[in-house]
Amino acid sequence: MLNNFMKIALNEAKKTKIDIPICALIVKNNEIISIKTNAREKLNQTFAHAEMLAIKEANEKLNSWRLDDCDIYVTLEPCPMCAWAIINARIKNIYFGSWDLKYGAFGGVINLAKLANSKINIKGGILEQEANEILKNYFEKLRNEK
C-alpha cells in the first residue's frame, strides 16, 4: 500500500502546472480522504503548500482538527511550517519521497518531531528516484524558460 499511495501522489504532482510539483495525500483506514498539490502561485497564498491544503480538507471532511488515525504521504519532505502542522494535527505516520536537504523538517535538515517529543512515525525515501526526477525536471524547465 505504501508504494501505491506514493505513486498516486507522484502522478498528481506531475499534473501541477505553475507551482512546484509537490503532492500530499491523507489516508484514513486505507482510503484517501484528501489529496492536494502545491497552490501558492495559483492561489497567491503563502501557506498554500500541498500539506497545509490537504490537512485543511481532511479537518473539514472529518469535522475534527485531530487526524490521529491518519497517515500523510508527501512527494517531498515537509518544510518546518508543514511539519509543525502535521505534528499538531496528530497524524500517525508521515511517508515522503524526496529528502529536502535545504528545508526538510523530518530529518533532512532538522527533525521537528524530536523537538516536539512527537510519536509520529517517519519514513522518507519512498520512490525517491522518481520523486527527485519530477522536481529536477520542473526546475530544469523553469531555468530554460528564463
57 given a catalytic annotation: no
Cβ neighbours of residue 95 under 8 Å, at least 6 residues apart?
Answer: 2, 5, 6, 71, 72, 73, 74, 123, 124, 126
Set 12, 31, 41, 51: catalytic member: 51
Task: Supply the DSSP string of the chain, one letter for each residue.
Answer: -HHHHHHHHHHHHHT-SSS---EEEEEETTEEEEEEE--HHHHT-TT--HHHHHHHHHHHHHTSS--TTEEEEEEEPPPHHHHHHHHHTT-SEEEEEE--TTT-TBTTS-BHHHHTT---EEE--TTHHHHHHHHHHHHHHHHHH-
Task: Give the catalytic positions in this structure.
Answer: 51
